[in-house]
Each structure stands twice: as C-alpha cells, then as structure tokens.
Structure 1
Amino acid sequence: MGTSASVLEQSSVHDFTVKDSTGKDVNLSIYKGKVLLIVNVASKCGLTNSNYTQLTEIYRKYKDRGFEILAFPCNQFLQQEPGTIEETVQFVCERFKAEYPIFAKVKVNGSNTEPLYKYLKANGGGLMGTTIKWNFTKFLINKKGEVIRRYGARIEPSSIEVDIEKALEEPEENQGK
C-alpha cells in the first residue's frame, strides 16, 4: 500500500491500517459506523492550546454518539513535534486530558507520506490541493469512512460542530458521495 496508485484504490478510511503510539497495527475498520475527525497535531505550535482544548471538549461532547478523534503527531512543520511519541502522548493526556487515540508520528507530505494521508488529501477536495499546509489540518469522515470535508489549520474545532452533528445524525446508508 506504499504507492500512490494503491492508496487511490482504497475506497474508504476503513481500508487502512496505521500504527498506534506503541507501534501496534490498528486497522481503521474498527471505526466503521462512527464519524471521525482525523487531525495532524503538534505540541509546540501556536495553535496547540486552542486546538487541543477544543478537541478534548468536542470529543467529550460527542463520543457517546459515535464520534472519534484520531490524532496523528507530525514533526514536518518547523519541527513543532520534536519529542518522542511517548512524550507527545504524556503531554496531550496530562495537559489537555485527551481521551481519544494518539497514533504514531507520521509524515503528511513528501515521498514518505503516510498512506492514510495520501488518501485523505486525494479525497479531501477544496482549495487546499494535495498538500497539508500546517499543523491541525482536519478531515471530517462519515460513518462509511469517506471524507466529508477538509478544514485548514486555522479553522477551530469548535467551529465545525455543526458539521459533526449533521454527520452524526445522518443514517449510515444515506452517506456517500
């Protein structure tokens, strides 16, 4: 699944396997039927406090309705995620009380882009093209594992609650492009 062609053959986020923060494989099919917000995160970014605070609030508000946040630390933007994955998890869980999964560090751009991110960028549409511009780019995923919308780094998580609620209310069989 390392080439762009094979990534584009995937029909949903649920077709991917990623590494968790301990290096174990996680097949994203475990999230079938849930609305996801996939975010590339960083601990030392100017957007860290507001994003992590709001992500924790949104997660607590919607987790019991079938909502999950999948956080992927990334050190590609001014090395703003410099520590080990263990340090990142400790920081996020202690400082921001995050209860959602933090995955292994990934690359979201370049030749070593995580296959999931190749898929997200190819299916995210919008004016942002096929590169991630900064930390805290967000992808809202429907219950079928399809990208609903991409949000830039400066879009605060609280401002997309309406879209999250709409996706949660949508019956799974009605979702799709």
Structure 2
Amino acid sequence: MNNRNVYDIEVSDYKGLTYKLEAFRSKVILVVNTATECIYSEQLKKLETLFQKYKDRGFVVLSFPNNNFDNRQPGSNEEILKISREKFGVTFPVLAKISVNGNDEHPLFTHLKNEQPGIFGSPIKWNFTKFIIDRQGNVVNRFLPMEDPLDISANIEILLQESSS
C-alpha cells in the first residue's frame, strides 16, 4: 500500500457515486475525518474559511464523515451533508461516511496513515485529524484533531507557492 498512488484511490460522494482522487490531481488537498456532533465540529467553519481563502489557487478540503469515535456521526450521508451545509456553512466536498480505523477502514486512510503515521502511532485517535496532500500526490503532513485549521494556513501557502513555481 505504501507505493500506491493517492490518485488511484476511489472515494464515494454522499450519493454513493464513486470516483478516483485523480479528480483532484494538481490541487493541494486537505483530508479531514469529520463528525458533526464532535467537540471539534466547529472546526468545519474554519475549514470552510480555508477553502474559501485558497480554492481559487488550487486548494480543496475533503470531508470524510466517520463514526469511529463515540458515535459522534450518526445519520445517513444525506443527513450529514444537510447538517454540514446548514449548521456549519460547508461548501467543500462532503463524501460518504467511512471508517478510518480497523478492519473496515477506508483505503485512503490506510494510505494516509502509512505515509504520515503521527506522533502517537498510526491509528487515527479522534475526529478532525488532518492530512495535507501536495499537488504531486505526496502526503506531506498530519495534524492532530485539536490543531486549529487556521493555524495550518502557512503550510497551505507554502505548498501552493511551491506547486506554482
């Protein structure tokens, strides 16, 4: 799996339509495992702020709802999308609910964790763990759930500048 190209990994949108991350090639991607009933759910608003600030420069946030931690993401994909849009103002892609750890974990999160194991080991510890993927598909950083999304702006800026030069 370590040699797998991130762009070959398939994801599903909230309607269940499947496509490869190839659709986001040449963008800087911030992948976040989300939950609308988590103590960190207000980060969705800050993630939207980042998306609005950088989307025209080739940046995208991908939200992957999950229910791995304390049942913080109940509901169907449609219900999750509605809450994300109406309560938190999210306009970036909200994909289908997945698992981020365990036997049924999504291949994307297996890849992300292999590339950026984290300071406490590979497993995702809680909702709102963030991974940045550069325009070449390299997983370049991992951020803890409590890390404020706005505090990673400098990392995004660097990747956007490096990628455009």
Q: What is the TM-score when the length of structure 1 is the normalising length?
A: 0.90
Indicate the residue corresponding to 2:6 in structure 1.
13
Indicate the residue corresponding to 1:171 in structure 2.
163
Matched residue type, 1:83: G
Alignment of 1:119 onto 2:111: yes
Deviation at 1:166, TM superposition (A): 0.4
Alignment of 1:90 onto 2:90: no
Matched residue type, 1:117: F
Indicate the residue corresponding to 2:41 in structure 1.
48
What does 1:17-166 align with in structure 2 at a 5 Å threshold? Answer: 17-49=10-42, 51-166=43-158
**Matches of 2:126 and 2:19 in 1, distance apart?**
25
| Unaligned stretches of 5+ residues in structure 1 | 1-6
Identity over aligned residues, as a percent?
A: 38
Deviation at 1:130, TM superposition (A): 1.2
**8 Å Cα contact 1:125/1:149 also seen in 2:** no
Deviation at 1:38, TM superposition (A): 0.1
**Matches of 2:22 and 2:103 in 1, distance apart?**
25
Deviation at 1:115, TM superposition (A): 0.4
**Matches of 1:126 and 1:45 in 2, distance apart?**
21
| Unaligned stretches of 5+ residues in structure 2 | none
**Matches of 1:21 and 1:31 in 2, distance apart?**
17
**8 Å Cα contact 2:98/2:105 also seen in 1:** yes
Please give the per-residue CA displacement for 1:115-134, whole angstroms capped at 9, x wherever unaligned.
01000000014313210000
Deviation at 1:20, TM superposition (A): 0.8
**Matches of 1:66 and 1:164 in 2, distance apart?**
10
Moved segments of 4+, more than 6 Å: none
**Matches of 2:79 and 2:122 in 1, distance apart?**
30
Q: What is the TM-score when the length of structure 2 is the normalising length?
A: 0.96
SS in 2 for 1:170: helix
Deviation at 1:99, TM superposition (A): 1.1
Deviation at 1:112, TM superposition (A): 0.6
Matched residue type, 2:81: V
